[in-house]
Amino acid sequence: MAGLIMVPATLLLTPPLARTHGIHVGTATQAASRAVAPGVFRHRTNVVMWLSTAIMYLGVTGFYIALRQADGIAYGAPLKIGWFEYFARLEKSISYYLVKVLVPWPQSNHVAWDLTPGFVLTNLAFFTAIVLLGLGIWSWRQHRDGSLLLAMTWFAATLAPSLLVAVRSISGTPLAERYLYLPSVSVALLFGFICCQTYVVQLIRPATWAAILLMIFYSITTVERGIVWTNDLRLWTDATEKAPHHAAPWNLLGIAYQEQHEDTQAINAFLRAIDGAGSPMGRSFALRNIAVTYHKQNDLRRAKDYYSRALDEYADNPEAHYGLGVIYMTEALGDGEPGAKEPRADINVDLAATHFRSTLRLNPYHSLARWGLASALVRRGESYEKQGKRREAATHYRSAMAEIETLIAQDPTYRARMEVQNKRAELRAAAKRLAD
């Protein structure tokens, strides 16, 4: 989207050679520029550039969207708010980026509304942007100089895709410092526009030194910020220090600790996420993450408790359903040991199958849940077969075979592929045995 806007804007707004802010060029260059009428200079080449770029961006963007749809990745659910609030979110977001693109400190990978500029600064920044846009249009129409308009168009075009998704859907804080990477180029264009003004050209030496010092300063701070981005632990520790009362950075810090196998720190971070400002969905996933930690420690009682609390907080958490399904299957295997009561094992298998089905309802591409459901159906079928209920056993075997076929079709590289294929062979043999 940014490329489709920027290519024609660049070709249209860049000034002719003979009208570059009063900067005098050599006689030969002047003669060459006068030899071709304005608007005719390489017109055919410009059209080819525009068409080829448009086709490239449309093709790549279409392919990307097709891949997202094929993998079942959505763009988030639209927020249930009025159009006035959408406009207020858009204005505040744009104002935040206008301020941050010039003065990016303090930087954080998590930005909430209470960390954005206040009402006065928001409206002042937005009004300044409108004035600069108007000045850019006036400069282009009056002097055929589109440099300022090009800088403003670049800022708007490169920020538009992020704002289009984030303001319309996903979250209550549609802000992130990574969205500033491309829009920051507009500052360089704006600085170039200022340096090309006649009164600045006369002060070219101090302007050059100012530009050098500015680049050195921004380069040092870029390297400093890059060090924070070297690993997730540093990144989310920094975010929690700057937004200590918000749940999302604590949840992500807990995941970073989890990946480092530092379970105690991970659980403490998840507990801070539960107590912090966030949504029921966020609290549900924090509870689920605590459950995963206890599950890995084989503390099934605590794990089941936190999985259940996660579903109480947000019933459509697929990973919490999957975790409970795994625990019920584990308990069913334990109940199947000598001396255990078979009916209890069947109850746990049925509960596991219910949670695996809920996971697949929320995420049809969850390979582990599909394999878990197939395993539960096989075990239930074996139980019916032991009881002499051949019809019920055959029904469960057929259902398990259907799940396995779906799993193979959806995920041919599934990590337990050999086990899946062996189970399919066993089911075919069972179906033949029951048919005889």
H, E, C per residue of 56-68: HHHHHHHHHHHHH
* Percentage above 70 pLDDT, the chain: 74
Higher-confidence residue of 407 and 170: namely: 407
Position 43 scores a pLDDT of 39
Q: Give whichever of 18-27, 116-125, 224-233, 354-363 has the largest mean pLDDT.
A: 354-363
E strand or H helix that includes residue 48:
helix 43-70
Higher-confidence residue of 88 and 303: namely: 303
Q: Give whichever of 62-71, 275-284, 319-328 has the largest mean pLDDT.
A: 319-328
E strand or H helix that includes residue 286:
helix 280-296
Alpha carbon separation from 357 to 361, 363, 373, 416 (Å, rounded): 6, 10, 7, 20
Overall average pLDDT of the 403-424 stretch: 83
Q: How far apart are the first and last CA of the chain?
A: 63
Higher-confidence residue of 338 and 354: namely: 354
CB hemisphere CA count around 185 (13 angstroms): 15
Strand partners, 169: 78
Query: In the predicted model, is pLDDT for residue 243 greater than 90?
Result: no
Position 94 scores a pLDDT of 79
Position 9 scores a pLDDT of 60
**pTM for this one?**
0.70
Model confidence pLDDT, tens digit, residues 76-88: 556 677 778 778 7
How would you class 206 by CB atoms within 10 Å of its CB: exposed for 0-12, middle for 13-18, buried for 19 or more?
exposed
Higher-confidence residue of 164 and 360: namely: 360
Overall average pLDDT of the 273-282 stretch: 87
Overall average pLDDT of the 211-221 stretch: 85
Strand partners, 277: 246
Mean pLDDT lowest for which of 16-20, 118-122, 226-230? 16-20
Query: In the predicted model, is pLDDT for residue 21 greater than 50?
Result: no
Whether the Cβ atoms of residue 247 and residue 278 lie closer than 8 Å to each other: yes
Position 433 scores a pLDDT of 79
Model confidence pLDDT, tens digit, residues 340-353: 455 678 889 999 99
Position 364 scores a pLDDT of 92
Query: In the predicted model, is pLDDT for residue 172 greater than 70?
Result: no
Q: Give alpha helix (H) positions in 110-262.
A: 119-143, 147-168, 185-195, 198-201, 204-228, 232-242, 247-259
Query: In the predicted model, is pLDDT for residue 292 greater than 90?
Result: yes
Position 42 scores a pLDDT of 43
Q: Give whichever of 9-13, 108-112, 221-225, 267-271 has the largest mean pLDDT.
A: 267-271
Q: Give whichever of 2-11, 73-82, 214-223, 299-308 has the largest mean pLDDT.
A: 299-308
Query: In the predicted model, is pLDDT for residue 56 greater than 90?
Result: no
Q: Which CATH superfamily is domain 243-435 in?
A: Tetratricopeptide repeat domain (1.25.40.10)
Position 176 scores a pLDDT of 63
The CA distance from 313 to 351, in Å, is 20
Rg, Å, the chain Cα set: 30
Position 113 scores a pLDDT of 65
Position 2 scores a pLDDT of 54
Mean pLDDT lowest for which of 24-28, 152-156, 197-201, 266-270? 24-28
Would you place residue 44 in the very low, low, confident or very high pLDDT band (cuts 50, 70, 90)? very low
Overall average pLDDT of the 299-313 stretch: 95
What residue spans define the domains of the chain?
2-196, 243-435
Model confidence pLDDT, tens digit, residues 127-168: 888 898 898 888 888 877 777 887 887 787 777 766 766 565
Tokens 């505040």, residue located: 92
Higher-confidence residue of 344 and 60: namely: 344
Position 1 scores a pLDDT of 57
